[in-house]
Structure 1
Amino acid sequence: MSRRRRLALLSLAVLLLAGAGLLHWLLQPQRLTPALLGVAGDALGLEITASGVGEYRLRGTPQLIVRGLVAREPGATTPLLTAERVFISVPWSTLRARGRDLTAVRLELDAPVFNLAAFQHWLAGRPPGETRIPTLSDGIRVDAGRVQGDGWSLEGINLRIPHLAPDRPLRGQLQARYQSLELRAPMDLAFHLGRLGKDGGLGLAGEVTPAGKDWRLPLRLRLSAYLRQAESRLDRMILGAHADYLAGAVRQSFALGAAGPVEFADGLRLRAGAIALRGRDAMPSLDATGDLGLDDGLLLDWRGQLANWPTAWPSLPPPLGRSTSALPFALAYRGTADLADIAHLRLQRDTTRFDARFRLFEVMDWLDALQAGSGSPLPPLSGRLTAPRLEVSGATLEGVDLRLDDPALPATDTAP
């Protein structure tokens, strides 16, 4: 072998060894992971780092595991997303496409924490254009996740999406727990979206259990609507639910229906919707229209008609109790989501009118005590009853103007 050939072979061997050494150095997790996160961060306008030791596999379908992930806007103090572990599996064709193809196999997130305010700030600064949705042939799994809102959070999020693809139906299962200062609500819901990334039909079905300090309200519900994403609105929303109000030994069952447009850009708000409640015993049956909202508290503003006077309520004196006329009402509430604040009620039959201010659960406790034959005969409320005539204990009262004042309630405010 000539000297020139030997030198060429030696040079080639050195280059191969150097290349192999460089490749080995680059593919070490402590170097490969930051490089890949840097590429992803540059594409999204985010600083993405990982504090834990990463893992990767290149045989077959490439896989990457990132631990201690933190994603934030450059210079921001609050991360948009953190996660204890992120697993992603991506085919070689996607890696070779360098961003032109957003096809992956699977994405898994362990204990992610998603800050809604930070996400909205980042989203507002993104350049205009259509958001690209990736394809995940083996879907998404989220375990022990959390979404932090303003004064509320979703805790213990377990999400399963078996398949994700743009412009295709999206199905999945969500388990989580809504939490605020005064209310918690575990949920287990199956969901279906007609077209991912575009307007289309939305369906929800499952169980939600709002609960306060001394009560629970298990709901078994179904919801259908047409989702308009850009307007953050549900059109043609129809909700049906069966529920049980539970407080100590008290159990009140009822059915609830609602229909109308729902806005969810800032909280939830059913505007000018139709509401139907079908109860028994102390739970009334009614039909109403109005608003129902949940943001930094609960809003009720209903006007409608009671179907009848509930059997568990105190009997109405004649001639009011003998009348079969309609029972129009107006109900308003603005306060904490656990219904602990003051509600306003206006109720009328014929020429008799009743205006009251009260706390719902105090009145329900009074009704329970009254049924048990104990407690005060006067309800815990402030209000006014006016009637041209009432018959009480065999006596006929003309021009009745009765005022009740509960000292436990604060000074009066505007009634509905």
Structure 2
Amino acid sequence: MSRRRRLALLSLAVLLLAGAALLHWLLQPQRLAPALLGMAGNALGLEITASGVGEYRLRGTPQLIVRGVVVREPGAATPLLTTERAFISVPWSTLRARGRELTAMRLELDAPVFDLAAFQHWLARRPPGETRIPTLTDGIRIVRGRIQGEGWTLERIELRIPHLAPARPLRGQLQAQYQASGLRAPVDLAFHLARPGEDGGIGLAGLATPMGQDWRLPVRMRLSGYLRQAESRLDHAVLGAAAQYMAGATRQSFALGAAGPLAFAEGLQLRSGAFALRGRDAIPSLDATGDLGLGDGLTLDWRGQLAGWPAAWPALPPPLGRSTSALPFALAYRGTADLADIAHLRLQRDATRFDARFRLFEVMDWLDTLQTGIGSPLPPLSGRLTSPRMEVSGATLEGVDLRLDDPAVPANDSAP
């Protein structure tokens, strides 16, 4: 072998060894992890860091586990996401593309905490159309997650998304528990999003079970609308729900429909909406318009008309009970989300008017005892009834002005 040939082979061997050493150095987890996180952060306009590296694999499809992940908008004090553990499986083609291609096999997050306000701030500052959606061929799995809202949280999040890709419908399953001001509500929902990362149609369907101290309200629901991401709003939102109120031996079934613009920047706010309630027994049927809000508390402001006087309510004296006139009403509530505070009802038929303040579940319990013939004949409420004429026990009363005063129901500012 000539000297020139030996030198060429030696040079090639040195280059191969140097390349292998360089590749080994680049693919060490303490260097690979920041590189991968940096590529993802640059593509999304975020700072993504990790405090620790766990297992990694380079044979076949590279896999990496990092711990103590923090995701924040550059310069922001509050992270929009932190997570105890993140698993990412990324094909070699993505590594070679150095962030130009956002394709991965699978993403798993353990105990992530998502700050909704920080996310909305980042989203609002993104130029239109610039947010890049990665492709995850084997989907996303989240366990023990938490979303922090304004006065409310969504905890114990278990999320499964089998596949994620830009401009393709997104489907998944969510289990979680909503908590706010004394109310907790486990949810189990399937969801569908027409275009992830873009405005478009969204649908949810499944079971939610709001719970108070001594009552439960299992609800089967379907919600659809047009998602406006930058405004944190659903346009043309339509909700259909079949529910059953359960307290002790009491069972009261009803259906609820609602439609209108639904904002979720600060809790859930359905303003200037239309509502339809169809009940049985002690739950009335009605149609109304107004507002409904759920966040660090519950607000309700409805004006509408009862379809009729429920049979389980105390019978109206004549001539009021014989009238077929409309029953317009106004209902307002501002208090804790478990409905433990005072509601205000204004009800009218012809020239008779009734204003009352009450706690909903106390009145529901009273109606149950009334049907059994035990308990007080007077409802647990404070209010005033005025009527030009009323017949009671065969006597005709003129200019009726009746006042009820329950010391346990003080006046409040929730009047419609």
**Please, what TM-score do these two structures have when normalized by structure 2?**
0.92
1:287 matched residue in structure 2: 287
Distance verdict in 2 for CA 1:386–1:336, change over 3 Å: same
1:258 matched residue in structure 2: 258
The equivalences for 1:125-140 within 5 A come to 126=126, 130-140=130-140
Name structure 1 gaps, 5 residues minimum: none
CA distance in 2, matches of 1:302, 1:267: 19
2:60 matched residue in structure 1: 60
Q: CA deviation at 1:409?
A: 2.3
Residue type of the alignment partner of 2:334: R
CA distance in 2, matches of 1:412, 1:202: 39
Q: CA deviation at 1:166?
A: 1.6
- For each residue in 1:218-242, what CA deviation from the matched residue of structure 2 results, as whole angstroms up to 9, or x when unmatched? 0001122222333333232222111
2:174 matched residue in structure 1: 174
The SS at the match of 2:406 is coil
CA distance in 1, matches of 2:27, 2:351: 85
2:401 matched residue in structure 1: 401
| 2:359 paired with 1:370 | no
The root-mean-square deviation of aligned C-alpha atoms, in Å, is: 2.3
Residue type of the alignment partner of 2:373: G
The equivalences for 1:208-227 within 5 A come to 208-227=208-227
Distance verdict in 2 for CA 1:366–1:187, change over 3 Å: same
1:356 matched residue in structure 2: 356
Residue type of the alignment partner of 1:399: G
Distance verdict in 2 for CA 1:101–1:29, change over 3 Å: closer
Q: CA deviation at 1:255?
A: 1.0
CA distance in 2, matches of 1:414, 1:178: 25
1:248 matched residue in structure 2: 248
Distance verdict in 2 for CA 1:104–1:34, change over 3 Å: closer
Q: Is the 8 A contact 2:334 2:414 kept in 1?
A: no
| 2:313 paired with 1:309 | no
2:82 matched residue in structure 1: 82
Q: Is the 8 A contact 1:115 1:148 kept in 2?
A: yes
The SS at the match of 1:94 is helix
2:108 matched residue in structure 1: 108
Residue type of the alignment partner of 1:172: G
CA distance in 1, matches of 2:224, 2:72: 35
| Farther off after superposition, 163-172 or 403-412 | 403-412
Q: Is the 8 A contact 1:33 1:54 kept in 2?
A: no
- For each residue in 1:348-382, what CA deviation from the matched residue of structure 2 results, as whole angstroms up to 9, or x when unmatched? 11111101111111211222222222222211111
Q: CA deviation at 1:284?
A: 0.9
Q: Is the 8 A contact 2:181 2:297 kept in 1?
A: no
- For each residue in 1:35-90, what CA deviation from the matched residue of structure 2 results, as whole angstroms up to 9, or x when unmatched? 43344445555443323333332332222222232233556554332222212222
Distance verdict in 2 for CA 1:346–1:217, change over 3 Å: same
CA distance in 2, matches of 1:197, 1:77: 24
| Farther off after superposition, 49-58 or 207-216 | 49-58
The SS at the match of 2:365 is helix
Residue type of the alignment partner of 1:99: G
CA distance in 1, matches of 2:263, 2:29: 45
CA distance in 2, matches of 1:120, 1:302: 30
Name structure 2 gaps, 5 residues minimum: none
1:97 matched residue in structure 2: 97
Distance verdict in 2 for CA 1:142–1:184, change over 3 Å: same
Q: CA deviation at 1:204?
A: 1.4
1:326 matched residue in structure 2: 326
2:277 matched residue in structure 1: 277
| 2:232 paired with 1:232 | yes
The SS at the match of 1:189 is strand
| Farther off after superposition, 340-349 or 103-112 | 103-112
CA distance in 1, matches of 2:393, 2:85: 73
- For each residue in 1:323-366, what CA deviation from the matched residue of structure 2 results, as whole angstroms up to 9, or x when unmatched? 22221111111221111121111111111110111111121122
| Farther off after superposition, 200-209 or 43-52 | 43-52
Q: Is the 8 A contact 2:288 2:305 kept in 1?
A: yes
CA distance in 1, matches of 2:194, 2:42: 32
**Please, what TM-score do these two structures have when normalized by structure 1?**
0.92
The SS at the match of 2:366 is helix
CA distance in 1, matches of 2:2, 2:192: 73
Q: CA deviation at 1:396?
A: 1.4
CA distance in 2, matches of 1:218, 1:105: 37
CA distance in 2, matches of 1:40, 1:231: 25
Q: CA deviation at 1:103?
A: 2.1
| Farther off after superposition, 396-405 or 361-370 | 361-370
Q: CA deviation at 1:398?
A: 0.9
CA distance in 1, matches of 2:210, 2:407: 30
Identity percentage over the alignment? 84
CA distance in 1, matches of 2:101, 2:296: 41
- For each residue in 1:129-166, what CA deviation from the matched residue of structure 2 results, as whole angstroms up to 9, or x when unmatched? 52111122222111221111222111111111122122
Flag the structure with more relative contact order, 1 or 2, with Cα contacts below 8 A and sequence separation at least 6. Answer: 2
CA distance in 1, matches of 2:301, 2:76: 40
CA distance in 1, matches of 2:254, 2:344: 22
Residue type of the alignment partner of 1:24: H
Q: Is the 8 A contact 1:30 1:54 kept in 2?
A: no
- For each residue in 1:282-340, what CA deviation from the matched residue of structure 2 results, as whole angstroms up to 9, or x when unmatched? 11111111111223321211111111111111111111112222211111112211111
CA distance in 2, matches of 1:345, 1:148: 34
- How many equivalent pairs are there? 416
The SS at the match of 1:197 is coil
| 2:381 paired with 1:381 | yes
